[in-house]
Amino acid sequence: MPKKARPLGILEAVKKFGWPEPGSEIKSVELLVGEPCNARCLFCCAGASGAGAWRPFAELEAELARARRRGAWLVTLSGGEATLSPDLFRLAARARALGFKSVQVLTNGLKFASPAFARRAAAAGIDEVKVSLHGVDAATHDRLTGVPGSFDKAMLAFANLNAAGIKASANFAVTRLNYRQMPLYARLVAGRLGLTGLCFMFSFYEGDMLPNSSRLSVRYGEVLPYLRLALEYIRRAGIKIESRMISNFTPCLAPEYENIMIDWGARGAARSGHVFKDGKRRRAAEFYAPRKAQLPACAGCAYADACYGVDRSYVSAYGGGEFAAVPRRRRRFPLKPLYP
Ligand code: SF4
């Protein structure tokens, strides 16, 4: 069993790793190191069923160097499942040598169930790991990942990351199977596990999500009451919001939380990272924008000059009746991210 250790909070991590002070702009790049994966998530937008190849190290290294020259200080290594890459630790060390202040990994957490793997990651310079955790119990999480035992391994991963001195955080993909758990999830992750980083991501309707959509798809209108309860728990508990933490929502759905929404428009585009998929590298904004479109109801919306609109597949499934122009942009918000 891993030695019990307290998780690093965001402000402790800033001090320990020398990240730019809260209030600074996050200048990041996302590096997709390849497509292989050892989970079978029902909602996977890659839809590659774990197949595919790793990108050559030289190509990734060149991309890192370019991003660094443009001022990126944070790199996120993702996949597929980045922890399976034979070059993961070499890439992390290279990023450090190039001057990246933070090297983060997006993962399903399976490999981090090994304490030795977590220690090797820390030694290579990885300072934050975002573990996908899609439920508050094994029945829900394991069903969504398609891997029996993956919930228990994710819990071990958090303990091992804490023991290795790596900051841990959690990502939750919102589907019909788990959306009612969102308030309990906030309590588990921010309360019981003590993590300051978590993100709620509304699933895109593509990849493996399409054949599974009859059991996974859910309306925004069903999700929003649970999202609000989760965020209200975070507010009342005084938990620090590190950066924007709800993804693939639009401001009109919950204008009071527009300041913590990711990927909704031009404001985020200026500092968005990059995505490598199907052999092509694109800015994240270019990648997401074509999937979305404004609706007739968007006319006159105070966010219309910045908002990409709504996921087209969502509109095909549910129509656009939940979206309505917002007369004025919000100035005051109940939650404020440390990195705006
Ligand atoms: S532009 Fe459209 S989708 Fe975006 S916030 Fe306004 S009404 Fe909603």
pLDDT digits 0-9 by tens, 38-88: 999 988 876 655 677 899 999 999 999 999 999 999 999 998 899 999 999
How many C-beta atoms surround the C-beta of residue 297 within 10 A? 16
What is the per-residue DSSP string for 241-306?
Answer: B-S--EES--GGG-GGGGGGEESSBHHHHTT--EEEETTEEEEHHHHHGGGEE--GGGTT-TTTTT
> Residue 246's closest CA among 297, 254, 194?
254
Q: How far is the CA of 87 from the centre of ligand 1 (A)?
A: 41
Whether 328 maps to a domain, the answer reads no
How many Cα atoms occupy the beta-carbon half-sphere of 90 within 13 Å?
10
Q: Is the distance from CB of 9 to CB of 196 less than 8 angstroms?
A: yes
Of 290 and 17, more confident: 17
Of 27 and 116, more confident: 116
* Residue 273 pLDDT: 54
Confidence of residue 259 (pLDDT cuts 50, 70, 90): very high
Mean pLDDT, all residues of the chain: 90
Q: How far is the CA of 62 from the centre of ligand 1 (A)?
A: 38
- 298 CB within 6 A, ligand 1: yes
Of 4 and 297, more confident: 297
35-44, 89-98, 271-280, 329-338: range with lowest mean pLDDT: 271-280
**What is the average per-residue pLDDT within 294-308?**
92
Whether 1 maps to a domain, the answer reads no
Confidence of residue 122 (pLDDT cuts 50, 70, 90): very high
- 326 CB within 6 A, ligand 1: yes
Whether 130 maps to a domain, the answer reads yes
- 248 CB within 6 A, ligand 1: no
- Does 317 score more than 80 pLDDT? yes
Helix (H, G, I), strand (E, B) or coil at 337: strand
- 309 CB within 6 A, ligand 1: yes
- 252 CB within 6 A, ligand 1: yes
CA dist list (Å): 158 to 128, 142, 169: 11, 17, 8
- 306 CB within 6 A, ligand 1: no
Give the whole-angstrom CA distance, residue 245 versus residue 265: 15
Give the whole-angstrom CA distance, residue 244 versus residue 262: 6
Whether 330 maps to a domain, the answer reads no
Q: How far is the CA of 289 from the centre of ligand 1 (A)?
A: 13
- 171 CB within 6 A, ligand 1: no
* Residue 270 pLDDT: 46
Whether 199 maps to a domain, the answer reads yes
Query: Which residue's CA lies nearest to atom 8 of ligand 1?
Result: 252
- 11 CB within 6 A, ligand 1: no
Mutate to test the pocket of ligand 1, among 326, 328, 329, 330 (most ligand atoms within 8 A of CB): 326
Task: Find how far residue 71's CA is from the centre of its chain.
Answer: 22
Whether 164 maps to a domain, the answer reads yes
Q: How far is the CA of 206 from the centre of ligand 1 (A)?
A: 21
Would you call 340 exposed, middle or buried from its count of C-beta atoms within 10 A (0-12, 13-18, 19+)? middle
- 325 CB within 6 A, ligand 1: yes
* Residue 274 pLDDT: 54
Mutate to test the pocket of ligand 1, among 249, 291, 301, 308 (most ligand atoms within 8 A of CB): 301
CATH number for the domain harbouring residue 89: 3.20.20.70
Whether 331 maps to a domain, the answer reads no
Mutate to test the pocket of ligand 1, among 295, 318, 328 (most ligand atoms within 8 A of CB): 295
Q: How many domains does the chain have?
A: 1
Name the pTM for this structure. Answer: 0.91
Q: Which domain holds residue 91?
A: 10-318
Whether 325 maps to a domain, the answer reads no
